[in-house]
Amino acid sequence: MLIKVENLVKRYGDHLALDHLNLEVKEGEILGLLGPNGSGKTTAIHCILSLLTYDKGQIEIFGQPMRPNAYDIKRQIGIVFQQVAVFSELTVQENIHYFCSLYIKDKALCKQYVQEAMRFVELEEYANFLPAKLSGGLLRRLNIACGIAHHPRLIFMDEPTVAVDPQSRNAILQGIRQLNEQGATIIYTSHYMEEVEQLCSRIIILDHGQVAAVGSKEALKEMITLKQKVSIDQITLTPYQQANIQKLPHVYALDYAHERLEIKYNSQEHCLVTLLDYLEANHITYGRVYTEMPTLNDVFLEMTGRELRDDHA
């Protein structure tokens, strides 16, 4: 295991942010770390990185205890936080060099790594630009280059694609895959569920300071009630007909409004056929029909709830 966290407890006064948290990160994986606001996700990351003290528990990275002065461990870690953290008075190249030189003392090797990082995020033509002259997408790529230039073995990425255009997002996601293919283990947090589905080989969902679920996206989808969703547009139903549809096999939730029907099933077995047979038998006309399998977003909402959370912990 690259990271092992056991019985981690963190309190902020009366608030229990981490409640005997246990989690493991395997070498070579891209691990998605998800959770609603206040779930303890950010607190857990900060504790793992020894940026926060905690009340109880053990944290090991690379098989060694992680402490604030564990510089031999920290040299092998890269961090890309959500907030862009670069120096406005330094150029692109100077920013990357500064962060790389914190870990790489050999000047020739540091220079080589800086050039590699600029090529990796495709910023070579912007080497002498100041950050203020960069677009949002280019700034994000500079932020990534500063975090990974020293060739870390373990990389934390917190919302690296927030507020960027589709082209920059695609380039960032391709770069993350490439880093992983080159041997880096990556912990990836995002509220963009489709990104997590695309990238992550394993996913941990945190809620109330504990692990609510862990597994591959396929395994997580098997854990929830929803197995299929059917939606029909331009359909008119009486309350009696709605009640009858609700009684069809495997239906556990029905929503009907503005001539649009949405049905949730706890099985994939003959559900659409049975529904269409009922509509035909009762001479009910309708428009477009489409079905969806569960997404990671469905998993997240079913496991953590739909209520809004305060943005903390």
Q: Model confidence over 101-139: pLDDT tens digits?
A: 999 999 999 999 999 999 999 999 999 999 999 999 899
User: d(Cα 304, Cα 35) in Å, to the nearest integer?
Assistant: 8
| Closest listed residue to residue 286, CA positions, set 235, 236, 249 | 235
Q: Which residue has the tokens 């090991």?
A: 60
Q: What is the pLDDT of residue 162?
A: 87
Say if residue 140's pLDDT is above 60.
yes
Q: Which amino acid is at 220?
A: L
Helix, strand, or coil (residue 48) = helix
Average per-residue pLDDT in the chain?
95
Q: What is the pLDDT of residue 110?
A: 97
Instruction: Name the token pair of 135.
Output: 């677009």
pLDDT grade for 164, boundaries at 50, 70 and 90: confident
- Please give the share of the chain, as a percent, with pLDDT higher than 70: 97
Over residues 173-199, the mean pLDDT reads 95
User: d(Cα 289, Cα 233) in Å, to the nearest integer?
Assistant: 7
User: d(Cα 258, Cα 138) in Å, to the nearest integer?
Assistant: 43
- pTM listed for this prediction: 0.90
Q: Model confidence over 191-210: pLDDT tens digits?
A: 899 999 999 999 999 999 99
* Domains of the chain listed by start with CATH number: 3-222 (3.40.50.300), 225-293 (3.30.70.100)
pLDDT grade for 309, boundaries at 50, 70 and 90: low
Q: Model confidence over 275-295: pLDDT tens digits?
A: 999 999 999 999 999 999 999
Instruction: Name the token pair of 106.
Output: 């050999």
Q: What is the pLDDT of residue 312?
A: 53
Q: Model confidence over 2-16: pLDDT tens digits?
A: 999 999 999 999 999
Q: What is the pLDDT of residue 168?
A: 86
| Closest listed residue to residue 228, CA positions, set 300, 294, 298, 297 | 294
Say if residue 223's pLDDT is above 90.
yes
Say if residue 310's pLDDT is above 70.
no
Q: What is the pLDDT of residue 313?
A: 56
Q: What is the pLDDT of residue 311?
A: 56
Over residues 214-241, the mean pLDDT reads 97
Say if residue 259's pLDDT is above 70.
yes
